[in-house]
Structure 1
């Protein structure tokens, strides 16, 4: 991806070559003619619009449905789940946390399989299996059954977000990623808004067929997901150059883009070397720890927002619609921030700026107990930065790791480490209605994440300075022999 347009304007021209293993000589790629035909600005925009028209709503629906369960479990709780299956003490929090154990364990292996089994097959299998598990959740009768379904759900959902992210990096260049990954996190925010509407409507089905409203919540949600998974199989293309929704001129544009991104898209076979390189890469751990802090807020906020608002004195059904504008604001702000991030080629500064709002929000939640209007306003402040921070940090790392299998490993590592925050948030959000421990933990977590973002900017800046000096000292032939990964001096990190 050395020639990606999102790199610094100072980045040199990239030479597209492959190495003849028999002779050990560099030869021109068979796709060199295509690689030389760069798309015009107009062609690029038209192609991106065509791709977005089909792929954006598809991936958003997939992730919205997956995240719907994480928000609806909070709605189900206040609608009688804990009483109906006789949960005691902190059993609900234990189940909420243990979901992330299997979720984390299966993220890396699932993500590494996406290229072997192809995106269409992998993504639709994930959606169908977690949707079936969601349906089964509607029939649990006790703590053991509830725990079992959540553990299985963690296995089934584990690879969805990292697989979707890796899939996007296979289609879009790194200066195009922010809005596309924003669609995923916007979907997670919108799932909160939709879950409020969805729960408000479905909970009126209480006693229909002899089932409680919260049971219908899981059953209908799972059925919707199952249908979406089946339909998605016929929508998602494994190779955009053969996409059913693109005419031949547009397919030719895709092939030209692919030829220009050979550095980024190489390694059709599984590459253990790239996996090992990811495991030793400092920047991946730095980003993952920052994402842990961001996700501590994200999971605590999205799972327990209904309970937080109910603690302000609102009744069950009114809670459902009071959450809606909070989630919608979070989604809208994140989409705007993602476009600004690509427009100004800036990740870190926008991340840091967005985190200021939830920091203020959590301070208000901790210090203004009893002032319900202020507390509700604080929820809006939190939503302004929580989704932007979590999503943009994923985009930042995705753009700064190459080639494919190193990136796939990096994203799944980041998610595995970050999603362990779900275990933490499930334990600290206890002791209603004030949730002091939960808010305090979230405040500390997002503060640490902000500091780590600042350190990351300095780290990337120092690395870029070293790379530019190295390029000044290397001849064109020596540049051709550089490693085909993000250590290449021609691969400048995005800040």
Structure 2
């Protein structure tokens, strides 16, 4: 985090295309493991049932920065000309520095694990030498985590992966349906999210008005993120609740496709706002990736792979609205509608796949007597989600 804040700040000194692409490549390289690392880190503190809610708040904080940064940008850009620097240079410099300060504070605040909250010195005001928990509380925390998922005790948080272990994680085909979802479910809403401010400016709104008009979309986004994540755990239906994201965007995309060219700007703004504020089920899918991994090593790699597929979907989505299709993007909307229909099939297919696997294992497990089950547990070479007594969340 500190490293990418430094690169972000140095963007204030960009001098051309080459330096711009170099900085963007460095940012991607440095930021790449941030989200998977956070997912793995949170899994050490929370059970599978608790993790989705915590992840939803993680993305709430992320989305809230879009609201805050809009107003920060409006103020910082007014520094244009100060010390002979353009406003956008000030924006990169100051926002990068803010990220750096948060990174430094996090270094001292966040403990390595639930049993390592104590600092080595008293000068750490965030944790101190006594830490957050006493020994009894630490035992309770560890036991509740391991009872929920015994596989979390297979590796410690400083243990690396071998090439063979990495390959085994990549070859775990039980996780592939989730990767396929990551590659497509966000695409229908991403182009509008990226082009919302540009569309508002093209409708005649100024910078400040544009920033204000984006806030309702982000507020709806945050409320839906929290609600649907909570509901998915309450109903124990992750993929069906995730399907709501596609049910939401489908009629909105159809409306945008057939909207008259001379329609009121406020109608287009309403549809765009609802599309950007779609049910964001990312926390649900990230949590189910963690839960269905079955082992720490698979959880580590699967979280990264799922995040990679989501980032790949962003690349795809950014190329759907094209210059020769603006301002109504009729062709692009048709493509998004088709992808939404595909996502319907993938969500339902993933649900049916995991239900089928669970039923098959339950049938085999149920046919065993007590002694056979005990023998299997003691002697099996099956690991993680390959075990007969492992059940996939869906």
Instruction: State the TM-score, normalizing by the size of structure 2.
Output: 0.86
Deviations for 1:383-435, whole angstroms, at most 9, x for unmatched residues? 343522x3322222221112011111111112222211222233333324334
Going from structure 1 to structure 2, the CA distance change for 1:334 and 1:455 (only over 3 Å counts) comes to same
Partner of 2:132 in structure 1?
Answer: 246
CA RMSD of aligned residues (A): 2.2
Q: In the alignment, is residue 348 of structure 1 matched against residue 236 of structure 2?
A: no
Partner of 1:53 in structure 2?
Answer: none
Alpha-carbon distance in 2 for matches of 1:141, 1:489 = 59
Pairs within 5 Å for 1:170-189: 170-189=44-63
Going from structure 1 to structure 2, the CA distance change for 1:130 and 1:271 (only over 3 Å counts) comes to same
Alpha-carbon distance in 2 for matches of 1:406, 1:185 = 23
Q: Which residue of 175, 191, 213 corresponds with 2:87?
A: 213
Q: In the alignment, is residue 469 of structure 1 matched against residue 343 of structure 2?
A: no
Question: Aligned residue pairs: how many?
Answer: 368
Structure 1 unmatched ranges of 5 or more: 1-126
Q: Which residue of 63, 68, 77 corresponds with 1:203?
A: 77
Contact 2:183 2:309 in 1 (8 A): yes
Pairs within 5 Å for 1:90-489: 127-243=1-117, 244=127, 246-248=132-134, 249-260=136-147, 261-268=149-156, 269=159, 270-297=161-188, 299-368=190-259, 369-371=261-263, 372-385=265-278, 387-388=280-281, 390-431=282-323, 432-474=326-368, 475=372, 476-482=374-380, 483-489=382-388
3-state SS of paired residue (1:222): helix
Going from structure 1 to structure 2, the CA distance change for 1:291 and 1:239 (only over 3 Å counts) comes to same
Contact 1:298 1:387 in 2 (8 A): no
**Which sits farther off after the overlay, 271-280 or 222-231?**
271-280
**Which sits farther off after the overlay, 172-181 or 391-400?**
391-400
Alpha-carbon distance in 2 for matches of 1:437, 1:250 = 58
Contact 2:189 2:278 in 1 (8 A): no
Contact 2:189 2:275 in 1 (8 A): no
Alpha-carbon distance in 2 for matches of 1:157, 1:370 = 43
Deviation of 1:305 (Å) = 2.2
Deviations for 1:274-316, whole angstroms, at most 9, x for unmatched residues? 4223222334222112112123345434433211322333223
Q: Using CA pairs under 8 Å that are at least 6 residues apart, name the structure with larger relative contact order, 1 or 2.
A: 1
Partner of 2:122 in structure 1?
Answer: none
Deviation of 1:177 (Å) = 1.6
Alpha-carbon distance in 1 for matches of 2:60, 2:78 = 27
Partner of 1:490 in structure 2?
Answer: 389
